[in-house]
Structures are given as structure tokens and as C-alpha cells.
Amino acid sequence: MGVFKKVKKGIVDRFENEFVVIEFEGSHTKDIPRVMVSPEVAHGDVVELHDGIWQPNRVETEKRRQKIKELEDELFED
């Protein structure tokens, strides 16, 4: 449970059966039971722990997606 006390924000890496795999700073992942994750959460979302439930942070998720798009655009320029 130590990771929850230190880290309250992560990125949804994938869904595996009854678990959501969340990646934390330093590329550490943790399998979180789906019952502890909001049903609104999608792959790639930035999530934060609020009252024991992992909730999507829409603002941070959009910022992350924009940054990834910019990096892709730079990488694949003509």
C-alpha cells in the first residue's frame, strides 16, 4: 500500500480482466481492482486517487494527448 501514500496520480496503461494497470512515475505499474477505478476511465487517461477511487483528470489527460500529438508531428514531418 506504500505506493498509494506517495503517488496519487498515474496513467492507465491497460485493462486486464478484473484489474486496471496504472503506470506511476518511474514506469512502475500497479494492478488496481476495477472496483477501485471509475467506470469513466479509459486507456491512456491520467487518473488521480480521490476518496479511494481512481478518477480521470480530463485536463491533464488532454494536455498529455496534445504533447504526444506534437511529438508525433515533429517525428513524422515531411
The domain segmentation of the chain, as residue ranges, is: 2-75
**Tens digits of residue pLDDT in 8-65:** 899 999 999 999 999 998 889 999 999 999 999 999 999 999 999 999 999 999 999 9
Task: Give the per-residue pLDDT at 74.
Answer: 87
Interatomic CA distance for residues 45 and 31, integer angstroms: 15
What's the rounded mean pLDDT across residues 60-77?
90
> Dihedral (C-alpha) 34, 51, 63, 59: value to the nearest 10 degrees?
110
Q: List, as one string, the DSSP characters of the chain.
A: -HHHHH--EEEEEEEETTEEEEEETTTEEEEEEGGGB-TT--TT-EEEEETTEEEE-HHHHHHHHHHHHHHHHHHT--
Q: Which pTM was predicted?
A: 0.80
CATH architecture of 2-75: Beta Barrel (2.40)
